């Protein structure tokens, strides 16, 4: 990571750069703040900067040290994070290094901005106890008892130090208090309150504030090409948290796709042309089961909003934007005769798709039935 990969936090970066260049960097620091404030990215960028041989305002990205630190493969740049497995006995022996490929991939994909939920999913820890165990502390102590591989700096980044139990922490206390020369620790936490007091008392604290709205907005524009209106809107909702901003953006994109699918499906079913309906079913079957399940939920909400709108209760219609504009035209077709059968079809489609039915067959049957519901009610 480079400092230029960090969103905002200029004051904190200037402080770190200055402390390195003046040789006054604290030997152990806790970087504290929500995941979306950038703590891990800052720690990784600072580590690269420390190692870089041709640094200026940022690490150079082209010296041999940069080559290794930016790909997280430098032998003197150690990463420790909570791990776990199904059985307690094998968990005890697990080390972060066993999960390095997944961790590297996650950092590459997200630029270091990920939530603990994203992390657990990537490392495969959804239902397992994620911990930094004694074996990890012992391994680190062994490494630290040797001199640095490349004879220069050594940097240790501990992600989620609050996942250390007391036994692990006790083993590391002395090392963190008096590390070997040219050794720096960065402990990156989202829950400063849960870090053991014995660890906290040996570290300097760098507290990250929420990101500024304009920093999030401009990153949304440069990284994802969003318009300034859309970026400002998302930045406002993100409350200074980049991870939340990305989630809102992804959700917005999915909602747009749901809207387009719903509008074209309703038009096709209303027209009742079988060939077009089969074409739709074939194409939609490639969207994936998870998408189709969420699409069914979205559609049921659209039908409910259309029904209350058709009853003249427009204040109960909770949709907005282009969803609302469509519902205002579509509402007359969702009445007391059609609403229940339509909602039922979407619910059954969701159930059948998620039960691993052949999506293409499920969707053609579903769309034909929806079309029949419209045509039967047209005759009345």
Residues that bind Zn ion (CB under 5 A): 52, 59-60, 63, 66
- Decide whether 60 or 173 has the Cβ nearer to Zn ion: 60
8 A C-beta contact, residue 29 and residue 46 = no
Q: What is the DSSP string of 300-364?
A: HHHHHHHHHHHTT-GGG----HHHHHHHHHHGGGS-TTTHHHHHHHHHHHHHHHHTT--HHHHHH
Least Å from the CB of residue 295 to Zn ion: 47
Shortest spacing between CB 184 and Zn ion, in angstroms: 17
Name which of 63 and 287 has its Cβ closer to Zn ion: 63
Distance (Å, whole) CA 338 – CA 299 = 14
Tokens linked to 347: 């619910």
Residue closer to Zn ion by CB (options 45, 169) is: 45
The distance of closest approach from Cβ of residue 62 to Zn ion in the complex, given in angstroms and rounded to an integer, is: 6
Burial-class residue 117 by CB neighbours within 10 Å (0-12, 13-18, 19+): exposed
Nearer to Zn ion, 2 or 81 (CB): 2
Round to whole Å and give the CA distance between 7 and 374.
51
Min CB(46)–Zn ion separation in Å: 13
Q: How far is the CB of 51 from Zn ion (least distance, A)?
A: 7
52 or 169: CB nearest Zn ion:
52
Please list the residues that pair with 186 across neighbouring strands: 29, 157
C-alpha Rg value of the chain to the nearest Å: 27
Of 70 and 163, which has the nearer Cβ to Zn ion?
Answer: 70
20 in Cβ contact with 58 (< 8 Å): no
Min CB(57)–Zn ion separation in Å: 12
């Amino acid at each position: 990571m480079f400092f230029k990969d960090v969103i905002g936090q200029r004051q904190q970066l200037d402080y770190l750069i200055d402390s390195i260049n003046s040789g006054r960097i604290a030997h152990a620091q806790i970087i504290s703040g929500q995941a979306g404030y950038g703590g891990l990215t800052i720690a990784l960028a600072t580590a690269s900067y420390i190692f870089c041989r041709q640094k200026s305002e940022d690490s150079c990205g082209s010296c041999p040290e940069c080559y290794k630190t930016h790909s997280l493969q430098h032998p003197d740049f150690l990463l420790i994070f909570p791990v776990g497995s199904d059985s307690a006995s094998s968990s005890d022996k697990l080390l972060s290094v066993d999960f390095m490929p997944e961790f590297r991939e996650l950092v590459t994909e997200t630029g270091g901005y990920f939530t603990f939920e994203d992390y657990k999913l990537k490392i495969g820890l959804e239902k397992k106890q994620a911990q930094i165990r004694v074996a990890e502390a012992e391994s680190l102590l062994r490494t630290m008892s040797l001199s640095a591989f490349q004879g220069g700096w050594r940097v240790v980044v501990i992600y989620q130090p609050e996942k250390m139990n007391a036994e692990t922490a006790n083993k590391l206390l002395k090392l963190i208090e008096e590390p070997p020369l040219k050794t720096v620790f960065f402990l990156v936490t989202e829950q400063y309150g849960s870090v053991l007091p014995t660890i906290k008392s040996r570290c300097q604290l760098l507290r990250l504030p929420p990101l500024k709205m304009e920093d999030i907005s401009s990153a949304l524009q440069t990284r994802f090409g969003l318009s300034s209106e859309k970026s400002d809107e998302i930045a406002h909702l993100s409350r200074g948290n980049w991870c939340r901003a990305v989630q809102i953006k992804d959700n917005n994109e999915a909602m747009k796709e749901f809207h387009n699918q719903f509008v074209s499906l309703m038009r096709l079913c209303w027209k009742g042309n079988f060939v077009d309906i089969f074409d739709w079913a074939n194409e939609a079957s490639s969207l994936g089961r998870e998408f189709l399940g969420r699409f069914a939920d979205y559609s049921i909400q659209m039908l409910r909003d259309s029904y209350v709108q058709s009853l003249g209760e427009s204040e109960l219609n909770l949709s907005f934007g282009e969803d609302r504009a469509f519902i205002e035209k579509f509402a007359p077709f969702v009445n007391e005769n059609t609403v229940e059968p339509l909602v039922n079809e979407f619910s059954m489609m969701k159930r059948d798709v998620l039960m691993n039915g052949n999506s293409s067959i499920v969707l053609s049957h579903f769309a034909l039935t929806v079309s029949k519901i419209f045509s039967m009610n047209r005759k009345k």
